[in-house]
A and B are shown apart, each in its own frame.
Chain A
Amino acid sequence: MVMRGQPGNRRRGGMRMGGFRAFVPHVPFDLVLCEPQNVFPRCRPSPDETAFTQALLKRNQDLSPTAQEQASVLALITKVNQVMDNMIVAPAMFEACQIEEIRQVGSHKKGTMMAGHNVADIVALLKTLPTKEAVNALASKVLDDLKESDAAEVLNMAINESGFEIASSDATVKVLITTIPPNFKKLDPELHLEAKVMQSHLGAIRHTRWFEENAFHSSIKVLIRLSRDLRNRFQGFRPLNPWIIDLLAHYAILNNPARQPLPINVAFRRCLQLLSAGFFLPGSVGITDPCESGTQRVHTVMTLEEQDQVCFTAQTLLRVLEHGGYKQVLGFEGNSSIATEMSVWEGVVVTPSEKAYEKPEKKDGEEEDAEGEGEDDVEGEVGDDMDTVDGQ
């Protein structure tokens, strides 16, 4: 089952030609998709979900940034944007590097920002080679220009490996540096920023564009916020990166027979159901990354262990949820121990699922090792908004 057809290096690929059938991904069971056939007709009326829906909306409210937060982030990013725009318009003013274009990305741009995490991202595409010196020079230049325009504001600047960030008292703007694709060949790890990081910044541009085109529905944004909250609270969901969450939320809301957005309570449950049914397990068809060439299933960026972890966490939470524990799942009551410890709901003992994945014991145990740790494809891991990676 497991990733038989995972891409090999050339050698292995060649061998594969021999006796292997083509990998046919398994399509996991999905109640919602089975609806038109009425595969599982309800034998009892569906329970009243208004309380659950209310709780979901309430939770979303709590998670959304306040107007003030939004305003301060917006103010800061507008300024940074302006400063950098000027540099594009008049490149002669600044010698260290040339900016091709700048783009806003990430949760602020997508409208999925979370409360208490006032970070906006902006990608600067350099025409010149992204040397570390150039980045430093750019950072100080931006800071200087900002201070010039408004001397009163206290701004901090920090340089990191992906670019630099400028922070005011209550907001942060991350400037992610990347370069135009032809430059990637010329990169020298000693002199320049890491190519992988910069690739991920390019990816972030694609993700943002896709999101704006496809996932503008508010339900999706609400569901993304709720899912990110789950991810933040439950350790088991950590492997889910923001891009996977975006795609999963989009899938859960919109990918149904009627092609109409599902109500949030149904979609939230569906998220857990999908994960429980092994949507992101090896062999499953999962979600194909719409922003990558070829057919890359987005969940393969997680290691097998992580896939197992995500799945069993979802399975436990789903059972808790179905036994009436929505408040605990949403974080109104209790703590994250429901995912890892035994709990009792109306007399029913819910035992947390255990991990099923076993590390292959020996090198020659060919059956197991076909599962391949190699699945942790770094590219996907860095693929997105830096804001959520650190800002928990």
Chain B
Amino acid sequence: MASGYFYNPSTGQYGAQPGAAAYQATTAYYNATAAPAAAAAAYDYTAVTPTYGTYGAAARPVADTGATATYVSPYTSSTGYTAQPAYSTHTTYSQPPSGGVSMYSNSATYNKPRGGAVGRGGNMYGSGTKHYQPASKPFQSSATFNSGGASKPYNAGANTSYNKQTGTNTQTPYEKAVLTAASSYIKQKNVPGSKPGVQSPVVGGSAGAGTSGKFQSYKPQYGQNKGLGQAPRVPKPQQMHYCEVCRISCAGPQTYKEHLEGQKHKKKEAAVKAGNANNATLGQNALRCELCDVTCTGQDAYNAHIRGSKHQKVVKLHTKLGKPIPTTQPTVVNPPTPAKTTTAVSAEPKPVKKVVSTPKITFVGGTKLTTTEAGPKEVKTEQDKMDTTPAAGAGGDAKEIAPLLPKEKEIAPVGEEYLEEVKNDEGKAISFLCKLCDCRFTDPNAKEMHMKGRRHRLQYKKKVNPDLQVETKPSLRQRKVQEEKLRRQLLLEEYWRRDAEHRWREEMSHCRVYEDDRWRYGMEMEYGAQAPFPGHGGGPMPIRRGQTYDDRHIMAKHAMIYPNEKELQAVQSIVTATEKALKLISDQLAEQDAPKEEPPKEEQAEEQEEGKLQIKKDIKVETESDVEEKDDNKADEKKEEEDLKPRALKGVMRVGVLAKGLVLHGCLDVELILLCGEKPNKSLLSRVAKLLPEKLATVTEEKYEMKLSVRDAAILLASNVEPKSCVKLTLTSPLMRTSTDEPEDKQATRAKEPSDLLDKQKCQDALAALRHAKWFQARASGLQSCVIVIRILRDLCDRVPTWKSLNPWALELLCEHAISSGGNNMTPGDALRRVFEALACGVLLPGGPGLLDPCEKEPTDAAGNLQQQEREEITASAQFALRLIAFRQIYKVLGMDPLPAPRFNRKLGANTRKRKADGSAPETEEAGKKEKKEGEVMETAATTA
């Protein structure tokens, strides 16, 4: 990219962008995953409960105040957290500490993913649990527990201190933390069953007078637990192997382990980790059974699930385990107004039923899953009436849940008349037959569902009533396409991010000046967004698998001719130094010429706009001159309006190999173009030349040799140290190009210009080089394999005398034309062969089309400098090269030694001779064409039939 701009307005952004992007990405991640996947996260953390101690002491200060409200607040204030269930802390407080313990450890679990905001507290409690016994004595009071006094021990962070405090309860240390948790759960279950005073039937603890008042306020929440409380059960610490993810129990440790290693489980686990992402595709109608972690597509499906045996099994299992059973009320997966819900939650922390504790779960080592907490199982108070007991829920007499989803209501069963009951001999309906869909089912429940079902409705629409509205649902394929799109987008983003980072690093290394955009040059915007060393960003392509023989040779050769790190460095430093120095010179000249006036801001904007204009024009040469003229006119207008003299030096551009990224090893001559406000003359050239050494000295310590070449309208800068690099700085101005076809009066004004103008042809060549660089960036840089092939061919042109006469610009055009027409993803081998093929079939020959220069107004042959004989020789040479490539002698074309075969090839050697015998059609070879062939076969089959 020919972006040798002193002031690249967008450079400043480069610095910020990658970082910002990354930051955004992470936050987005948090937002997206934290809330819905809280449960998933929780799994991990509970599993590693013992390590809680490692989580920083960062968090507790808030919690230290001890008030219930405070405990709740951090959570409610946190935006992403819908995972309220953990905060059924209210309940916890009202209970013996053991309850609290489990709660806290749980809440810590939830917090963890957010960076340990409350982590410490959980941890403390968690470790504290050890010392509790299921409160055998009445718990003193929640006030005590919550009081500031309690906070101290927490702060101290030692279990002992906690012990001290709880010591008043005369509790003895408990053996196992998990067991505690379990008991706490029982209590939790049981408490609501009794009076508000909260006593655990098992433990027999009764709350103090002081507490009761407090508890009262939480009464409503207990209410919801009633259902659970009605069936008090003392869970034995039984050996149970329960997989939390799949919600199944296993008969023994062995099966459990096997299950954990199984595919089904892994899939599920991955799905849980992926969180809500899958649900997003399901649309608004999805309902979720939290218990089974099953998503249903509709109300009916959900009802069916609740009735179904699988659900019943899970309910049974959970009951057995003593795990809480959420109501049968489904969770709407994608609630239409999610924002509202969250605010509601944070406004009044809803009591939520907690879910903890299993009786002694055996965690088989090696997995980090398994937790007591499955997910946000919340039961909202307002759903009290839905508070069916687990038994009730399981009993199947649960009333149909009122449609939660607005859309669902609209669907009325259709086509009942087409349903036929199939009766058995006794006249009892044994099954149903839908004549529309030609399907049969035995379940009467399914009947209604079927009538509401999409398939049935579609059939109905097709066969009975075409007016019926059937909502379209994305087909599997569409969904796949969507997913694929998403994935690709992610990849692309990743690519851009890396790319941007890469550029940014490069930019940072050498051009701080870019941030300053006072440099007035209209075209700078055009290249503003591009990296200074464009093609080099790509570097030698990474070696890919599945390379052909040709590819390997080309890549090996390419590695040889690609400039090494040191050379790139040298070029970069000399170019950067020159650019910086020129910027200083430009400033100085501007000061000298117009000492008082600084260009006002708005004008800069205008200039930038012009730049944009020119971006649009891009390669379309036809319009270019118009724009330039406009440019010109504008400049003139400005002159009149503001009487402002434009800067003498408007900008510096990288062109040629530098802009195109075609610098080759051992040839570090690069070109810059200095664009002047007026037509450049000799005095300007000498002025610049005079100032350059001193300015160079200010920007760099390296010494460069400078030579002035008036004939070339250029200044030559060369470095003395190895690797030797050379910069050719040509002066030119856009005005040089339009001068010939100007109207008369303008020419008259031009006549006044000094006569010592620099060589016009040289200046115009420089402008052409600028256009070529632009064209190259637009067309060739992004083309796969194109830049590599051009480098290879440039090397060929240097080596082989026949090819010397082919100028670089013609070569670039040729390569781009040939490769771009060859379809996507050509490997370097294919691309090179194709370029030779294009030459071989006579593109350059007198009868051929030639190479039309896209950067000239008039139809021009870019290879116009070639004599007929030269054309003939290049064509003949290309033809020979093509055959060499076809016959596995590409190394001769590339001027290198043949590479040894890759190792996996070795074994083949012995056998290959035998091929004479075989004449059968290659099967693997033309797999692509096989399809076509098959098509033909089909066709003939059709015709014969």
Q: Which residues from chain A sit less than 8 Å from chain B, CB to CB? A: 1-9, 11-12, 15-16, 18-31, 34, 37, 39-44, 46-47, 269, 273-274, 276-278, 281-285, 288, 290, 292-297, 304, 307-308, 311-312, 315, 318-319, 321-324, 346-351, 353-358, 363-364, 366-374, 376-379
Contact = CB atoms under 8 A, between A and B. Distances in A.
Given A25-B926, A37-B820, A312-B879, 9 more contacts: A9-B917, A12-B914, A39-B818, A288-B929, A294-B923, A295-B925, A308-B886, A323-B872, A356-B887
A285 B830 CA distance: 12
A322 B922 contact: no
A42 B914 CA distance: 49
A24 B928 contact: yes
B56 interface: no
Contacts of A304: 887
B912 A12 contact: yes
A183 B823 CA distance: 47
- Provide the main secondary structure of the chain A interface: loop
Lowest 4 A-B CB distances belong to which pairs? A5-B925, A294-B921, A374-B915, A366-B909
B848 A29 contact: no
B886 A25 contact: no
Nearest to B845: A322
Contact of A29 (B821, B852, B873, B886): B821
B898 A31 contact: no
Which of A44, A285, A308 has most B Cβ within 10 Å?
A: A44
Nearest to B547: A21
B841 A283 contact: no
Contacts of A292: 921
B842 A43 contact: no
A382 B801 CA distance: 45
B922 A6 contact: yes
B913 A278 contact: no
Contact of A322 (B546, B550, B848): B848
Interface stretch (B189-197, B523-531, B899-907): B899-907
A308 B879 CA distance: 11
B861 A43 contact: yes
B846 A367 contact: no
B930 interface: yes
B923 A371 contact: no
Contacts of B847: 46-47, 269, 321-322
Interface in B813-872: 817-818, 820-823, 829-830, 833-834, 837-838, 840-843, 845-853, 859-862, 868-869, 872
A293 B907 contact: no
Nearest to A284: B886
B829 A23 contact: no
Contacts of A379: 919
Interface string B615-626: 000000000000
A42 B852 contact: yes
Given A308-B887, A358-B887, A319 B876 contact: yes
Interface residues of B, number: 81
A353 B909 contact: no
Which of B847, B862, B930 has most A Cβ within 10 Å?
A: B847
Interface of B: 545-546, 548-550, 817-818, 820-823, 829-830, 833-834, 837-838, 840-843, 845-853, 859-862, 868-869, 872-873, 875-876, 879-880, 882-889, 898, 901, 904-909, 911-930, 932-933, 936
A23 B905 CA distance: 15
Contacts of A27: 822-823
B834 A9 contact: no
B924 A2 contact: no
B917 A374 contact: yes
A85 B244 CA distance: 85
9 contacts: A3-B925, A5-B925, A288-B926, A294-B920, A304-B887, A311-B886, A315-B879, A319-B876, A356-B884
A358 B821 contact: no
Given A15-B907, A42-B850, A295-B929, A318 B841 contact: yes
Contact of B841 (A24, A276, A357): A276
A284 to B, nearest CB: 7
A367 B888 contact: yes
Given A44-B859, A319-B845, A367-B898, A281 B925 contact: no
B924 to A, nearest CB: 4
Nearest to B890: A1
Given A12-B912, A294-B921, A322-B845, A21 B889 contact: no
A21 B550 CA distance: 14
A253 B443 CA distance: 67
A269 B847 CA distance: 10
Given A28-B834, A31-B843, A41-B849, A364 B909 contact: yes
Contacts of A276: 840-842, 879
Contact of B922 (A23, A41, A355): A23
B850 A295 contact: no
A274 B848 CA distance: 14
Contact of A15 (B852, B908, B917): B908
Given A276-B841, A297-B926, A372-B912, A315 B876 contact: yes
B841 A29 contact: yes
A366 B886 contact: no
Contact of A23 (B821, B883, B901, B924): B924
A40 B843 contact: yes
A1 B885 contact: yes
Contacts of B901: 366-367
A31 B849 contact: yes
A21 B827 CA distance: 14
B549 A7 contact: no
Which of B549, B829, B830, B908 has most A Cβ within 10 Å?
A: B908
B912 A366 contact: yes
Contact of B840 (A15, A46, A277, A323): A277
A312 B883 contact: yes
A278 B889 contact: no
A353 B872 CA distance: 11
Contact of B817 (A28, A39, A318, A358): A39
Nearest to A30: B841
Contact of A44 (B861, B875, B911): B861
B926 A7 contact: no
B806 to A, nearest CB: 15
A381 B923 CA distance: 20
Contacts of A363: 913
B314 to A, nearest CB: 46
A312 B882 CA distance: 10
